[in-house]
Amino acid sequence: MPGRAPLRLLILGAHPDDAEFHAGGLATIYRRREHLVKFVSLTNGAAGHHQRFGPELVAIRFAEAQRAAELIGAECDVWDYPDGELVPTLELRRQVIAEIRRYQPDLILTHRTNDYHPDHRAVGHVVRDACYMIGVPAIVPEVPVVARTPVVAYLPDRFTKPTPLAGDVVVDVSGEIETIVAMLACHESQVFEWLPFNLGIADQVPPDDAGRRRWLRDWFANYLRPAAERYRSELIRAYGPVRGSQVRYAEAFEISEYAAPLDAAMRERHFGFVGPDQ
């Protein structure tokens, strides 16, 4: 960005499509504002299909992840931990610490530790445990410590126990819905095959490309739309009564208390585009 270094957004997800599914709108906004974005999947996605498994699926999902990231000019990395078997080991924590130190993010997005998927919970645990250690030189000494502690926020979810996700930052992503769907459509093995099978709606997916894209847009819009109602008061507070009451699609993020606080200056720096006149 002219006159100021771009921000660096790092999304640490469990699976190759988690970043796009949960924060594709924010990632798109960041890239449009010429900030840097990197998607990291801590597992290789090898268990995410009902017919393909192992190295074949790993290669497919890696290629899908690369295509999705390329749509917005983001970086992408897929680690080789086994899908469905991720645990928050010291080895994984060290790798996450090294990744954060090398990328030097201003903002990190990751899963909460209460989630339906054990891989998501494992990522949430390991990132939380890494937050303090990224500033301890004796831990992973081969990689220099971060110059500043990043803000860490949790990706949107709908879980309510022990507590629901707080909408500390709620972003209107109505204008990004087409880009989000385009990124998700790159994950063909997931959105057109595995997820419909898993949800018992495989018979609803049209056979042709154009039909599948329309179906995916409708399905994802229906999935995302309730977030705007759930966080309507936060949207009105952020965008004002006129725009806030009209937002159709939103992504909500909870700020972690284990990393840098989101004070007024940080909020303006990271989310200055959120507001009635933006």
- Closest residue by Cα to residue 57 from 186, 189, 149, 184: 189
Cα–Cα distance for residue pair 32/12, rounded to 1 Å:
20
Please tell me what DSSP assigns to residue 160.
-
pLDDT at 3: 57
What stretches of 75-139 adopt beta strand conformation (E)? 75-81, 107-110
pLDDT at 4: 79
Residue 147 structure tokens: 């110059």
Cα–Cα distance for residue pair 109/18, rounded to 1 Å:
11
Report the phi/psi class of residue 170: left, alpha or beta, with left for phi > 0 and alpha for psi in -120 to 50.
beta
Q: Please name the residue ranges forming H helices in 169-263.
A: 177-186, 188, 195-199, 209-230, 232-239, 241-246
Cα–Cα distance for residue pair 82/42, rounded to 1 Å:
9
What stretches of 82-177 adopt beta strand conformation (E)? 107-110, 151-154, 169-172
Q: How far is CA 48 from the centre of its chain?
A: 18
Question: 221 — phi, psi (to 5°)?
Answer: -60, -40
Give 97-113 pLDDT, tens digit per residue: 999 999 999 999 999 99
Cα–Cα distance for residue pair 20/29, rounded to 1 Å:
12
In the chain, the percentage of residues whose pLDDT exceeds 70 is 98
Half-sphere exposure of 30 (CA within 13 A, CB side): 29
Please tell me what DSSP assigns to residue 40.
E
Question: Residue type at 38?
Answer: K
Question: Residue type at 22?
Answer: H
pLDDT at 1: 45
pTM, two decimals, is 0.97
Q: 214 pairs with which residues across the strands?
A: none
* 44, 36 contact by CB (below 8 A): no
List of residues 6+ apart from 98 with CB closer than 8 A: 140, 142, 143
First to last CA, the chain: 17
Annotated domain spans of the chain: 8-176+253-271
Please tell me what DSSP assigns to residue 202.
G
Q: What CATH fold (topology level) applies to the domain 8-176+253-271?
A: Rossmann fold (3.40.50)
Provide the residue-wise pLDDT of the chain in tens; the chain has 278 residues.
445 799 999 999 999 999 999 999 999 999 999 999 999 999 999 999 999 999 999 999 999 999 999 999 999 999 999 999 999 999 999 999 999 999 999 999 999 999 999 999 999 999 999 999 999 999 999 999 998 899 999 999 999 999 999 999 999 999 999 999 999 999 999 999 999 999 999 999 999 999 999 999 999 999 999 999 999 999 999 999 999 999 999 999 999 999 999 999 999 999 999 998 65
Residue 233 structure tokens: 């008061």
Please tell me what DSSP assigns to residue 193.
I
Q: 37 pairs with which residues across the strands?
A: 9
Torsion of Cα atoms, 73 then 103 then 95 then 263, to 10°: -110
